[in-house]
């Protein structure tokens, strides 16, 4: 766990966005993992995902407030949350401003269609090179298509850790591109599902809003966060 936390990007969202924008403009590839406590606990319990998290070319951002609080408890550098939704939205803006290309993979067909329509309507200078929903189980075919088409931005919405393991499998074959596993972000950015109101986001209570909307998340959230905090408290005691 400590090795994961040491890798988390600890500067501001603005500084992170500047790094991402610089990489896009220079055609420098980047693999981003947005982490909440559940993400890191999956790494603890999965050798394959553990390997991905520890890769030198993987950048971890503190998506969840639990990760931010853990870093603060351990006196590690951290400024603020940097969420997958905000990263994806920024990539759309930067891609559009610089006339770049994007590839989308994941979500339900109707969600993906709505997202593609929104991009074409609101980001007219961002070229959609491919858009495949996540319900055909053709991961390898999709990624071979990505390797061939060389998009500047690749957003994968298949859920953790499937999306990250898949990016990792093909990452070395990519010449360029910003790769991010974004979970349910397509739902939010397409307008299919509402993000938490600004109050919840500002108060770092977005997790509470999601649980209120989807109570079935509670047990998974509770177990992963309790386990995570136990490990963090142990690290704090050990100094």
Q: How many CA atoms lie within 13 A of 60 on its CB side?
A: 26
Sequence-separated (6 or more) residues with CB below 8 Å from residue 229: 37, 66, 70
Supply the pLDDT for residue 191. Answer: 85
For residues 181 and 155, what is the distance between their CA atoms, to the nearest angstrom? 6
The pTM assigned to this predicted structure is: 0.90
- Give yes or no for residue 194 having a pLDDT over 80: no
Question: What are the backbone dihedrals phi and psi of residue 55, each rounded to the nearest 5 degrees, phi first?
Answer: -60, 140
Indicate the pLDDT class of residue 215, thresholds 50, 70 and 90.
confident
Q: How far apart are CA 220 and CA 38, in angstroms?
A: 8
pLDDT tens figures, 19-34 = 999 999 999 999 999 9
Radius of gyration of the chain (CA): 17
- Residue 225 has a pLDDT of 81
């Amino acid at each position: 766990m400590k090795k994961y936390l040491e890798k988390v990007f600890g500067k501001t969202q603005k500084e992170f966005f500047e790094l991402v924008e610089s990489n896009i403009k220079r055609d420098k590839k980047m693999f981003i993992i947005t982490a909440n406590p559940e993400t890191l606990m999956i790494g603890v319990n999965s050798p394959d995902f553990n390997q991905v998290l520890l890769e030198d070319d993987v950048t971890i951002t503190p998506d969840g407030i639990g990760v931010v609080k853990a870093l603060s408890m351990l006196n590690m550098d951290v400024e603020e949350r940097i969420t997958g939704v905000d990263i994806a939205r920024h990539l759309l803006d930067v891609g559009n401003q610089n006339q770049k290309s994007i590839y989308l993979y994941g979500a339900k067909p109707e969600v993906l269609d709505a997202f593609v329509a929104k991009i074409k309507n609101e980001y007219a200078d961002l070229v959609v090179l491919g858009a495949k929903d996540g319900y055909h189980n053709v991961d390898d075919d999709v990624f071979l298509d990505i390797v061939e088409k060389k998009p500047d931005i690749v957003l994968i919405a298949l859920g953790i850790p499937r999306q990250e393991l898949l990016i990792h499998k093909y990452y070395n074959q990519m010449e360029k591109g910003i790769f991010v596993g974004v979970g349910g972000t397509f739902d939010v950015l397409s307008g299919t599902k509402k993000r938490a109101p600004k109050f919840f986001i500002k108060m770092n209570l977005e997790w509470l809003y999601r649980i209120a909307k989807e109570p079935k998340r509670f047990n998974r959230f509770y177990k992963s966060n309790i386990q995570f905090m136990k490990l963090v408290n142990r690290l704090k005691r050990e100094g």
